[in-house]
Structure formats: C-alpha cells, structure tokens
A = this chain, B = another copy of it.
C-alpha cells in the first residue's frame, strides 16, 4: 500500500460516478477535503469484519471484493465494486462498525473519504443526503438481486442472467469481455470456481462461447429461455 496524489483522470472518474455526478463541483470539493489516496495490490485487505472505520471508500481503479467470514476461513462475497463505486457507507450510519471485510480483487487505487465530514455534509445539504439515499437504494437493490438469484436460479441460470445483464438490449447476438477474473465472478455469483466453469460448459450448447475473458453469445433468446 502506497499513498498517492489525486490525478486529473482520477477526478474524471469521480465526477462521472453515479454518486458524485449529481453534485455540484463545490460540493464535490467539500467532500474531497481531507480525502486520502492509496494504491493496493491484489489481495490487500482494506478492512476486516468487525473493524471500526472512519472512512468511506471509493474505487478509482481496480476492483474491490466485499465479503463475510464463515467458519473455518470460508468467505462469502456480498458485493463486488468496480471502478467508480463507493462502499462502506453503511458503517458511517451504523456505529462505524463494519460487518464485512474488503480486499482488492486486483491492483487498485482507492480513495478514502472522511466519513464524519460526509455525514455532516449530508445533515447540512439536502442534495448530499439525496445522493446518499439514492446510492443506498441502488446498493440495496443489488444485494436483493443477488439474494433472489441465489434462491431462485441454478448455477447456469445465474451465469446466463449475468451475461444478459451485459447485453445491449435489442441485439440478438453480441459479445463482451469479462471485467474481471472468473474466480471473482464465481464469488460474486455465489459459486465455487469449478461450478462456474461447468456452468459455462452447460451454456455452450445454448450458443455461448468462452475464450479467456471473451464471452460470445450467438442467440440471446436461447439464453433467456434458460
């Protein structure tokens, strides 16, 4: 872990993100006051379940995995945050205790905001509060989606659903590149890596081709039926 300066491209990521995009520049500046920047290698731990945290985190580049710990070192991902996402806001309003661990799933640059300051701003500026509210709604829906998929879909169906969520609507055949290692995808979908692999095999017969991180879909309909 290394401390850095906020570059202009970092700033571009920030102001384009769902959370900051809606706020005026002056407010963004106020939030950024006292923020610190750090770079992390894969597997660097940002915080641990049970820690007391005074920061809110923002992914400027890379990928962060949020997970809970179970018996005998088992881990269950509860969210995965790509570039442009903010997390650990919960702690800010829930006694600063964090209920999950976070680690970089690949080399990442992380911005750490002062949560006390952000909270003050939210109390003073309804626009900030509004932004936080929508952010929380969005996050809540994501988690709910995961929960529902876990409970309703089989492994191949979950993978199909993931693929479809990356499909530009209207196209019948398309392709895209996985934004991260299959390992991470497996975690996000609540699967063992082997199960993800087998799910891809199963989907092959529905017109899905996988080469490295490239996914190619021949027939969208076939996937939806799955």
Contact = CB atoms under 8 A, between A and B. Distances in A.
Given A90-B137, A129-B133, A151 B148 contact: no
Interface residues of A, number: 39
A151 B150 contact: yes
Nearest to A128: B129
A153 interface: yes
A22 interface: no
Contact of A136 (B70, B76, B137, B151): B137
Interface string A127-168: 001101110111111011111101111000000000000000
Contacts of A139: 140
A74 interface: yes
A18 interface: no
Interface of A: 68, 70-71, 74, 76-78, 89-90, 93-94, 99-100, 122-124, 126, 129-130, 132-134, 136-141, 143-148, 150-153, 190
17 contacts: A68-B144, A68-B152, A70-B153, A71-B152, A76-B147, A76-B148, A78-B148, A90-B140, A94-B141, A99-B141, A129-B133, A136-B136, A140-B143, A143-B143, A146-B147, A147-B147, A150-B190
A144 B99 contact: yes
A144 B143 contact: yes
Given A126-B123, A152-B70, A93 B133 contact: yes
A100 B133 contact: no
Contacts of A71: 152
A66 B33 CA distance: 41
Contacts of A141: 90, 94, 99
A143 to B, nearest CB: 5
B123 A130 contact: yes
Given A126-B124, A140-B139, A78 B133 contact: no
Given A90-B140, A140-B140, A147 B78 contact: yes
Contacts of A152: 68, 70-71, 74, 76
